[in-house]
Amino acid sequence: QSALTQPASVSGSPGQSITISCTGTSSDVGAYNYVSWYQQHPGKAPKLIIYDVYKRPSGLSNRFSGSKSGNTASLTISGLQAEDEADYYCTSYTGSITYVFGTGTKVTVL
């Protein structure tokens, strides 16, 4: 199972919006609405920020939003803040009873 494809890096200035893509296939992202996104700061465990394509965990900022079109899911961070600087990973359930993670995107706040 190949990793989902994400851009290696995305950057933006404080207050701007950025979007991270996550491209899979018709066997994973395109087949199921089970895409989730995770934020990981250096040396820390990943943290769930979006699940089931667009749902936010209770208490999470509404600056994070998710969507999907075909085989590509997207995470948008609006009103970019310094604390958003981190690595971001998508994941999807696959048809072979496993999960696959994305390659990861480093977000830099300029």
Partner 1 sequence: EVQLVESGGGLIQPGGSLRLSCAVSGLTFSDYWMHWVRQAPGKGLVWVSRIRGDGRETNYADSVKGRFTISRDNAKHTLYLQMDSLEADDTAVYYCAGVLGARFDPWGQGTLVTVSS
Q: Is 23 in the site for partner 1 (CB under 8 A)?
A: no
Q: Considering only CA atoms, give the Rg of the chain.
A: 13
Among 4, 48, 58, 61, CA closest to 28: 4
Residues paired with residue 27 on neighbouring β-strands, in sequence order? none
Q: Provide the minimum distance between the beta carbon of 6 and partner 1 in the complex, in angstroms, as a whole number.
A: 9
Q: Applying CB under 8 A, which part among 17-25, 62-70, 78-86, 88-96 lies near partner 1?
A: 88-96
Q: How many residues bind partner 1 (CB under 8 A)?
A: 26
Which residue, 30 or 51, is less far from partner 1 as judged by CB? 51
Q: Out of 28, 38, 65, 109, which residue is the one contacting partner 1 (CB under 8 A)? A: 38
Q: Residue 7 and residue 60: Cα distance in Å, rounded?
A: 24
Task: Tell me how far apart the alpha carbons of residues 12 and 101 are, in angstroms, rounded to a whole number.
Answer: 24
d(CA 52, CA 28): 13
Please give the residue ranges that form the binding site for partner 1 (CB under 8 A): 1, 3, 32, 34, 36, 38, 40, 44-48, 51-52, 57, 89, 91, 93, 97-104
